[in-house]
Homo-oligomer: A and B are copies of this chain.
Amino acid sequence: MKKVNCDVLVIGGGPAGGVCAVTAKMNYPEKEILVVREFEVQLVPCAIPYIFGATLGCSEKNVASCGMAEEMGISTLLGKIEDINVEKKIAYSNENEITFDKLVFATGSQPFVHTSLQDSLGLEGVFTVPKNKMLIDKAKAYIDNVDNIVVVGTGFIGIEMAMEFAESGKNVTVIGGSKHILKGPFDPEVAIQAEEIILKHGITFIGNDRVTAVIDKNGDNIVNGVQLKSGKVVDTQVVVLATGYKPNSTLAQKVGMKIEHYGGINVNEYMRTENPDIFAVGDCSARRSFISNAPSKVMLASTSAAEGRIAGSSLYGFKYIKGFNGTIAIFSTMVGDMAFASAGITESEAVAANGDIVVGTFTSTNRHPSTIPGAQKQFVKLIAMRHSGQIIGGQVIGGNEAGEMINIIGVMIEANLNIYQVMSMQVATQPMLTAAPTNYPIIMAATMIAHKIDNHFFLFFLFLSQMKSITRVPKMPLSED
């Protein structure tokens, strides 16, 4: 047993752990920071689907760089922490006994598989999507040699993988429990547009259904189909279970940390656990939604990085006030040549929670005039509180600029902006880069909301003008809404 000393021990080298370590070193340059991680090579989590198609083509092109940490004087140890003596502040791996002052769990997440399907993981041809290079390489080698694939799950990872498979010429069937794909982040009218693109790419989508069993007809331990709740059977050579992730909190639980909803480690807004010297960041922590404060399953590397920054500057007391509580669930993806992005809560979610909200939408083009080569449709939907006009959610469809447009809406949500502030907002517009200044869709969607909030006044005027027998009744402004 080798003895190692450090001030701050970070368990896990993913986005949360990496950013936490770097931030800690910046804030406490005199402290010894040690990151313990299991794998020599760390994959970029959200680019894993692109390993399976032509976009990246291999896992070697999807390696996260750790150069910065080393350059800053952060130490790294390969290994797995098996146990921790919380009182004595000692962590144990197979080979090392590590003393620490502050401890950060950044143990990430692992694929979630429904109990009824867990047995199927033993079959040849059944894969999950773990953040593990060796397992991903194994899956890719197998899948490269088959033609028919079933993807279970219609979240971002499932859809991105399905598209990579389809673009590689494979027959792909996507199976989901909801009527439409990408249900969490998008309202139906938005999700449908992504669905149309995957159908055009030849993907078969079976919604409102569920895989009840994975079939091994020949008893040779090789998958050849899936049985659905509806009675349907889909023949296949490969089943990819992209059914979400769950916090990797086994170690934390073992050493007595308080575990919260969905198996996440309990933390306060500074990512501190009930033990003032122990923190948890990233997917292994228990998250809540920024609006409802309800438990949230959202797992995003960008949220993890934000949490890593917060913990990294709060280890020895609090230094910066945390900007925002809860995850605002800010996502983006490409489906074909369209980007789909979402922030905050959807209209469906808000309505289900009986929120008193108003929605505004606007469709424009992402270049102006629309004759600019390569101009694409750009659609923005905003969700605001009826009374304050505060923006609580947004969805964007567009060209690849939509990936940053959602971050504009994200900042608006974080900064508690209301639609009235957005209506007079100054934006940069340029023919080759954005929508027209007169029709900038985020501003126009806000304007639509203001107009709807005013609507009873408008109807009153309509009534008045008809009383006065004024012949031309003003039409409802603007074609889009």
Contacts and interface: CB of A to CB of B under 8 A. Distances in A.
Contacts of A373: 55
A441 to B, nearest CB: 11
A429 B47 CA distance: 11
Contacts of A400: 399-401, 432-433
Contacts of A321: 420
A451 B15 contact: no
B369 A431 contact: no
Contact of A72 (B411, B450, B474): B474
Interface residues of A, number: 105
A339 interface: yes
Interface string A467-481: 000001011011100
A63 B372 contact: no
Q: For chain A, what secondary structure do more than half of its interface residues adopt (helix, strand, loop), or is it mixed?
A: mixed
Nearest to A422: B323
A339 B433 contact: yes
A437 to B, nearest CB: 4
B369 A47 contact: yes
A334 B434 CA distance: 11
Given A321-B420, A408-B408, A332 B64 contact: no
Interface in A410-446: 410-412, 414-415, 417, 420-434, 436-438, 440, 443
A322 B420 CA distance: 8
A327 interface: yes
B429 A411 contact: no
Interface in A362-409: 368-369, 371-373, 399-408
A305 interface: yes
A202 to B, nearest CB: 20
A249 interface: no
B426 A368 contact: no
Given A25-B477, A461-B30, A411 B428 contact: no
A472 B61 contact: no
Interface stretch (A77-85, A236-244, A296-304): A296-304
Given A427-B330, A431-B47, A479-B71, A15 B438 contact: yes
Given A26-B478, A341-B433, A411-B411, 14 more contacts: A27-B454, A30-B464, A50-B431, A56-B372, A63-B369, A300-B429, A304-B437, A306-B427, A324-B425, A332-B428, A401-B403, A401-B404, A411-B415, A415-B421
Q: Which 3 A-B pairs have the closest CB atoms?
A: A403-B433, A404-B404, A47-B431
Interface of A: 15, 18-19, 22-23, 25-27, 29-30, 44, 46-47, 50, 55-56, 61-64, 68, 71-73, 300-306, 309-310, 313, 320-324, 327-328, 330-334, 339, 341, 343, 368-369, 371-373, 399-408, 410-412, 414-415, 417, 420-434, 436-438, 440, 443, 447, 450-451, 454, 458, 461-462, 464-465, 472, 474-475, 477-479
